[in-house]
A and B are shown apart, each in its own frame.
Chain A
């Protein structure tokens, strides 16, 4: 048998609140707020509110049909490349609108994410680490919500918009950062039902009963007060603030013309909702676009999918720029992996993590930059290979965070980003 199979896949091994209580610290090791022994410097948090939007092309988008075309080669497929707003940089012809935005976009064409698996790829792209035994790292959204969320924001800091399914709180993606930073999932963009005041309860009645509750709680707290009772009463204040902003989830409040710009389809609506949420102060929004897992008919599927992607993506960059938000909003287009340069016998491309591309724009990003290279047929990285950890550092530094610091769950240092990697300075403004 193996000496150790490391089946302990809870975070206990290194990082739960309680894990190293044995360090002679006693049962009530002093922790800062949220378990941070060394809270990130307050000044850093006071910076202008920064936000992150991740557009996740689910299933594994082809780098060859997007950011790293190889026309007229064995692997290039039928599409041409086109010029962009950045002289010398060409992208696939399936992205005509994004091409005009290229001066705002930086490309990383040399990502080796070291996995060809959907689940693992999703995880490594969002945590910036290889999956390790004994610890589960928080997702980028939870990290951003934890480090960027200002207290002025009542709305959840971490929202995922997924194509379909139910809506709910408490995604399992915050791990040791705690449930406060776990994602709220919006299936088809719909918010969880309990977020809205029931029809038979008027705002006045709601206020009256809450005022009565508050009076009770204040009296109770005079002689019976604990961190737990405080947390409970405070949670009603937060809920109230969120409920008051429930309209931000309703894209019917947007003018028709704007909705048209984003496109009258699910992904268009979801991108418009993302913009509304970011504008309302949500720190991190992830929008998924499904599905790029094109083992068959890769080219037909990419024509369809990318047409659906290109328009709202371009509209959103314009919209953010027009509203003065692009400088403070990092936009990342990623996927769980790329697709094989080799075209299979079903005109498909298969899973591929060895040499593919990610696009970045907005906050802290040097528009027009292109980093890294693949060879002529796209089968290998030939210059400036980067890993998911490099990207993770880059995302955080782009929004003004020091990604080389640690989290301190239960006083144990856990690096925010993989210390074996560093930010890709060439794409940072």
Chain B
């Protein structure tokens, strides 16, 4: 095609917001799909985010913390047209991104349950290594679903099963929810009464992969590993069935074909036969087929679930929402987009970093969270305005340490030779109280944000936040104490905590506070606290 006609076509495409073409990068196609869904509200779409707004959002979403004052200043001063894309690439390549993904997947996979057979440190190290090398998602899940915990090298990957004690219903339910986006819990006892797509036979099809597996030597042993018998089938009956018909199913994914099971010759069912204190090994393992069946390209739910979950992580809401209720009566807000994300994700070899990058580069991600006047209650599933996401416990901890300059002070103390890993080793232990308070008691599947009294008191009076405000060489209160000009105090304060410049009103507030105070140090401490406790800080806006 001659050059001029191609550019004409591009112009026409923009003007008409016509159908997305496969040749466009995915982020452009994302925007086409989202724009097609604006409908009558097209005029109320929020403008592109400001640079400061985008910077804070990208930092929190991609590396789980907020930018330093220097990073903010540098970004705002940069006049390059492609500075946002460059920033996204810089953040994705940094160790902070692996840390952020490890946090996210820890919560997604383990849902803040108590640690049991696989210690937290080993699990976090495993996830961090996986996301540092950007391990393809299908490879990661195959590891999680096939490790039996016997080899110390791969034992951390077995946490998904081991810390659920391999309890048949817990693991069946969570495989459905976490890897397939289907909460089939009700199907344990009967076909779902209101969700036609969730069948009891589907539920037991998943369970059939695991029904022969058990913890060896027993479930109470801290070092237990997963062992398997060569026989046993699932059987189930519906509690609604008056005839009490007993059913069974071979191992299979929901809606899929049963996996073929080779019949072992009589007498040769085991590689290692069961005996007292001996871990049996069957000739044919059902459990070993699970990872392949879940991650098979024939199992469409696998890619569809994770692209939806990553979309929700970035955009604040799933295309299927809630993310674990994917079924016919709860249709996706943008079905074509979801299909395209899933197909492209598979085509890109399950590359999570690529997927996150494409979403981050989209205009849809880069919308402002500021509503236009008159748009009081925008329907969240249209993405007219960026959705404000409450910081996770981990994000809040790291952002609070960055905002108060604790991170700066630690970095300075490490000196020029300090590495990000060394810095993390100093910061991570401080996350405990934040996780305990802001991550605890939260139903990970609930979409509603709650602010309980104890959480708010934790921010208000808790020592975890308060100790960050005490001046120490290089932290924010220390830096502010040394600045004499009130406007400069306001500038540094707002840049450090909220990653933006103060407004004229805000500068005046700061100046007034400093003018009337009898104890400047205390007033500065109060100002820092006020910004950290603000809604603007609590949310990724």
Which residues of A are in contact with B by a Cβ distance under 8 Å?
Answer: 1, 3-8, 10, 12-13, 16-24, 26-27, 134, 156, 168-170, 172, 178-180, 182, 184, 192, 194-198, 201, 205, 208-210, 212-213, 215-217, 219-221, 223-229, 231-236, 238-239, 242-243
Which 4 A-B residue pairings sit nearest by Cβ, starting from the closest?
Answer: A169-B454, A22-B195, A209-B526, A228-B449
Docked-complex contact B239 and A4, CB < 8 angstroms: yes
Whether B329 and A3, one on each chain, are in contact in the complex, defined by CB atoms closer than 8 angstroms, is no
| B522 touching A169, Cβ below 8 Å | no
CB nearest to A198 among chain B residues = B461
Verify if B231 is at the interface (C-beta below 8 Å from A). no
CB distance from B329 to the nearest CB of A (A): 5
- Decide if B529 touches A209 in the complex (CB within 8 Å): yes
Please indicate the chain A residues that have their CB under 8 angstroms from the CB of B370 in the complex.
223-224
Asked, given contacts A22-B330, A24-B194, A209-B529, whether A179 binds B441 with beta carbons under 8 Å apart, the answer is yes
Contact yes or no, B186 A13, CB < 8 A: yes
Q: Does B308 contact A (CB under 8 A)?
A: no
Taking CB atoms, residues of chain A closer than 8 Å to B503 are 219
Residues of B within 8 A of A4 (CB): 188-189, 236-237, 239
Asked whether, in the complex, the Cβ of A209 is within 8 Å of the Cβ of B325, the reply is: no
Tell whether A194 pairs with B454 under 8 Å between CB atoms, given A213-B533, A228-B539. yes
Contact A213 B530 (CB under 8 A): yes
Q: Which of B189, B325, B531 contacts A21 (CB 8 A)?
A: B325
* Given A7-B168, A12-B183, A239-B457, 6 more pairs with CB closer than 8 A: A3-B237, A7-B167, A19-B186, A24-B194, A194-B457, A232-B456
Nearest-Cβ distance from residue A335 to partner chain B, whole angstroms: 28
CA gap between A13 and B390 in the complex, in Å: 28
Q: Are B466 and A209 in contact (CB under 8 A)?
A: no
Known: A7-B188, A27-B330, A224-B541. A231 touches B534 (CB 8 A): no
Sampled A-B contacts (22; CB under 8 Å): A3-B244, A4-B239, A6-B188, A18-B325, A22-B198, A22-B325, A27-B381, A170-B441, A192-B454, A194-B457, A198-B466, A216-B530, A216-B536, A217-B535, A220-B535, A223-B371, A227-B449, A228-B448, A228-B449, A228-B539, A232-B451, A236-B460
Known pairs A18-B322, A18-B446, A239-B453; A26 contacts B330 (CB<8 A): yes
Asked if B453 and A228 sit within 8 Å, CB to CB, the answer is: no
- Residues on A with C-beta less than 8 A from B236 are 3-4
Chain A residues within 8 Å of B244, by CB:
3
Q: Does B484 contact A (CB under 8 A)?
A: no
The answer to whether the Cβ of B65 comes within 8 Å of any Cβ in the partner chain is no
Q: How far apart sit A13 and B185, CA to CA, in the bound complex (Å)?
A: 8
> Bound complex: CA of A131 vs CA of B180, how far in Å?
31
On whether the beta carbons of B530 and A209 are closer than 8 Å, the reply is: yes
B421 to chain A, nearest CB (A): 33
Are A194 and B461 in touch, CB under 8 angstroms? yes
A16 to B461, CA, bound (A): 32
Q: Is the CB of B169 within 8 A of A8?
A: yes
Per the bound structure, the CA–CA distance linking A187 and B451 in Å amounts to: 23
Tell me the complex Cα distance, A208–B516, Å. 12
Q: Does B85 contact A (CB under 8 A)?
A: no
A residues within 8 A CB of B461? 194-198, 201, 243
Complex Cα–Cα for A234 and B371 (A): 21
Asked whether any CB of chain A lies closer than 8 Å to the CB of B216, the reply is no
- Does B453 contact A5, Cβ atoms closer than 8 Å? no
- B330: chain A residues at CB < 8 Å are 21-22, 26-27
B529 touches A229 (CB 8 A): no
Chain B residues lying within 8 Å of A16, measured Cβ to Cβ, are: 443, 446
Complex alpha-carbon distance, A27 and B325, angstroms:
9
Shortest distance from the beta carbon of A15 to any chain B beta carbon, whole Å: 12
Q: Which residues of A contact B466 (CB under 8 A)?
A: 198
Bound-state CA distance A242–B186 (Å) is 41
Q: Please, how many angstroms separate the alpha-carbon atoms of A242 and B454 in the complex? A: 11
Q: How far is the CA of A216 from the CA of B503 in the complex (A)?
A: 11
The total number of A-B Cβ pairs within 8 Å is: 191
With A1-B235, A194-B457 as contacts: A209 and B527 at CB distance below 8 Å: yes
| The one of A8, A184, A216, A220 that contacts B185, using a Cβ cutoff of 8 Å | A8
List the A side residues contacting B235 at CB < 8 Å.
Answer: 1, 3
Q: How far is the CB of B320 from chain A (nearest CB, A)?
A: 8
B116 at the interface (CB under 8 A from A): no
Determine which of A5, A19, A27, A223 lies in contact with B321 in the assembled complex, contact meaning CB atoms within 8 Å: A27
Residues of A within 8 A of B188 (CB): 4, 6-8
Asked if B79 CB lies within 8 Å of chain A CBs, one says: no
- Asked if B538 contacts A232 (CB within 8 A), the reply is yes
B58 to chain A, nearest CB (A): 18
User: In chain B between 391 and 445, which residues have their CB closer than 8 angstroms to a CB of chain A?
Assistant: 440-441, 443, 445
Cβ contact of A231, chosen from B327, B450, B463, B527, cutoff 8 A: B450
Complex Cα spacing A223 to B368, Å: 11
Q: Closest chain B residue to A234 by CB distance?
A: B451
**Cα–Cα distance between A233 and B503 once the two chains are bound (Å):** 21
* Interchain CA distance A205-B204 in the complex, whole Å: 61
Residue of A nearest to B464 (CB): A194
- Bound state CA distance, A219 and B500, in angstroms? 14
A205 touches B522 (CB 8 A): yes
Contacts of B446 in A (CB 8 A): 16-18
A24 to chain B, nearest CB (A): 5
Question: B170 within 8 Å of A by Cβ?
Answer: yes
Which of B169, B185, B457 has the most C-beta atoms of chain A within 10 angstroms of its own C-beta? B457
> Contacts A169-B452, A170-B454, A212-B513 hold; do A221 and B535 have CB atoms under 8 A apart?
yes
Identify the interface centre among A10, A198, A231, A239: most chain B CB within 10 Å of its CB. A239
Q: Does B246 contact A (CB under 8 A)?
A: yes
Q: Does B388 reach chain A (CB closer than 8 Å)?
A: yes
Residues of A within 8 A of B198 (CB): 22
B539 contacts which chain A residues (CB < 8 A)? 228-229, 232
Q: Residues of B contacting A209 with CB < 8 Å?
A: 526-527, 529-530, 533
A12 to B195, CA, bound (A): 14
Known: A8-B188, A224-B388. A208 touches B526 (CB 8 A): yes
- Residue of A16, A228, A234 with most partner-chain B CB within 10 A: A228
Q: Which residues of B contact A194 (CB under 8 A)?
A: 454, 457-458, 460-462
Asked whether any CB of chain A lies closer than 8 Å to the CB of B455, the reply is yes
Residue of B nearest to A197 (CB): B461
Give Cα A180 to B458, complex, Å: 16
Q: CB-nearest residue of chain A relative to B447?
A: A18
Chain B contacts of A192 at CB under 8 A?
454, 457
B295 sits at the interface (CB 8 A): no
Closest residue of chain B to A17 (Cβ to Cβ) is B446
CA distance A215 to B463 in the complex (A): 24
Which of B188, B193, B460, B538 neighbours the largest number of chain A CB atoms within 10 Å of its CB? Answer: B460
Closest to B46 in A: A223
Binary contact readout B77-96 vs A (1 if CB under 8 angstroms, 0 otherwise): 00000000000000000000
| Interface 0/1 of B450-488, CB less than 8 Å to A | 111111111011110010000000000000000000000
B173 part of interface (Cβ distance < 8 Å) = yes
Q: How far is the CB of B396 from the nearest CB of chain A, in Å? A: 12
Taking CB atoms, residues of chain A closer than 8 Å to B193 are: 20
B298 in the interface, Cβ–Cβ < 8 Å?
Answer: no
Instruction: Give the docked Cα–Cα distance between A12 and B168 (Å).
Output: 17
B243 to chain A, nearest CB (A): 12
Partner of B440, one of A13, A26, A170, A198: A170
Chain B, Cβ-Cβ closest to A172: B441
Task: Answer whether A168 and B536 are a contact pair too, CB < 8 Å, given A7-B188, A229-B388.
Answer: no
Contact assessment for B452 and A235 in the assembled complex, using a CB-CB cutoff below 8 Å: yes
Interface digits, B499-538 against A, CB 8 Å rule (1 contact, 0 not)?
A: 0000101100100010000000011001101110111101
> Contact at B526–A205, with CB atoms within 8 Å?
yes
Cβ-neighbour of A178 out of B450, B523, B535 (below 8 A): B450
Q: Which residue of A lies closest to B237 (CB)?
A: A3
What is the distance, in angstroms, from A247's C-beta to the closest C-beta of chain B?
16
In the complex the two chains form, what is the Cα distance from A377 to B448 in whole Å? 55
Given contact pairs A22-B329, A229-B388, A238 touches B445 in the complex (Cβ within 8 A): no
Check B456 against A22 for contact (C-beta < 8 Å): no
- Asked whether, in the complex, the Cβ of B239 is within 8 Å of the Cβ of A3, the reply is yes
Q: A208 contacts which of B455, B462, B513 (Cβ < 8 Å)? A: B513
